[in-house]
Every structure is written in C-alpha cells, then in structure tokens.
Chain A
Amino acid sequence: MEWAYAVTVPEQLPGFEGAHPYLEDIARKLEQLASRANEEERRSEGRKVVRYSGYEELLAKAKEVYALVTGPDVQGAGGTSFLLSCSLERSDRHGDDEMVLLSPEILGVSPAPRARERPSGTVGERGARNPGRDGEFIIVG
C-alpha cells in the first residue's frame, strides 16, 4: 500500500493541492485529530455537566442523570443524594450554577452496593437537603 502514499495528491486530485501534499501526511494528520477526539470522548464518558439555579433544580437533574442507577433496589432510596454528594466532593469543575455529575463507575460505587433506608424513611431526604455534609444513609454489605 505504500505505493499509494508516494503519489502526490495534487497530481491525482486537482483542487486538493494544499498544505498536505501526500496521502501519508494526510493520514498522519487524520490520525492525530482522530486520536485526540477519541481521547476526549473517553474522558467525557461518565461525566455530565448540569446547570442549575437552586438546589431543588440540581436534585431534579441529578435524578434524571442517575435515573437508571438509583432507586429503592439500587444504591438505596438515598442513592441520588449519595451520588450527588460524591460528585460534589469529587468534581473539580463546579461553580455556583454548574457542576459535573460523575457516573457511579467513576465514583467507585459500581456495581451498586446493597442499601437500606433507616426505619424512619427520611434519611435519603435529609441527605438530599444537605449533600456532602450530613447526608446519612446506611450502606450494607
């Protein structure tokens, strides 16, 4: 195949005579761009940037983002609050109105632990009201 790359592009494709005279050079440039795009895609996997104006909105968005991985049977009833708290602690890109919600895999809580609520059933809500501080719920196993 190297014979193909020894042919100049302008010779073969009039109109493409530009900064890259050989297919080999084009392929090398393509590899750089595609590798970078692949790397960026991998880095952004499991990270979701959300904007919010208040805590209620943040919690609502977190519920959407974590809908598939939280619930009474997975991560416990306070799962969303727990993941939100962990994201708040770990995220390095959150300001007053924006934060990055990290996936359970990145947070190191996947596969989900078995969890249960305290008998009062209000623990998850307490955690939700004050994420990252006294969000108390019990993780078993």
Chain B
Amino acid sequence: MEHQEGGHNEEAALYARIIVGWHAGMGMDQWQRRFKRRQDERLVRYQHAVARFHDSDLSDPAIQLAIARSRLPGRWSGLTR
C-alpha cells in the first residue's frame, strides 16, 4: 500500500516536473513568439510564477495540485486576463 502511494507520488512529481519544465524551458519562447516580445506585467507575473514553481518541492501534493490547477486560463500567468 505504501509502495503504491509512493508510486503515485512519484508519478505525480514527474507530471509536475514536465509541466513546470516545459514552462521554464519553452514557455518564454512561446510567449515571445505569440506576443511579439512584448514586455508587460503579465509576462513578469508569468516568469515569477514559473520560477516559484520551479523552485518548489514538486513531490508535495499541495504544490502539485496548485500546478495542475494553474492550467486554467489566466490563473497561473494572467496571460488571458
């Protein structure tokens, strides 16, 4: 049972790393392509959020949940507000 729970946590941590890794590695590039390198407070918020998650303990279920729920438009970066 403990092994199973540990396995689920590892799986969730991997998903969290993929999402955060994507944003940390490629999100900026995508953002700049889409918004023509426009710098504004939304970009700053996005960078800040990505950095915050990147430095977090991604094995923590609370952090994982926050990352997963941040997929909703505008919730994480404010890009669509």
Contact = CB atoms under 8 A, between A and B. Distances in A.
Given A3-B30, A4-B30, A12 B68 contact: no
A31 B26 contact: no
A23 B12 contact: no
B38 interface: no
Interface residues of A, number: 27
B80 A37 contact: no
For chain B, which range describes its interface: under 10, 10 to 19, 20 to 34, or 35 or more residues? 20 to 34
Chain A interface mostly? helix
Interface string B49-77: 00000000000011011011111111111
A24 B68 contact: no
Contacts of B77: 1
A105 interface: no
Nearest to B30: A4
Interface of A: 1-5, 7, 9, 12-13, 16, 20, 23-24, 26-31, 33-38, 40-41
Given A34-B64, A34-B68, A38-B62, 14 more contacts: A1-B74, A1-B79, A1-B80, A4-B23, A28-B71, A30-B12, A30-B19, A30-B67, A31-B68, A33-B9, A33-B11, A34-B12, A36-B8, A38-B65
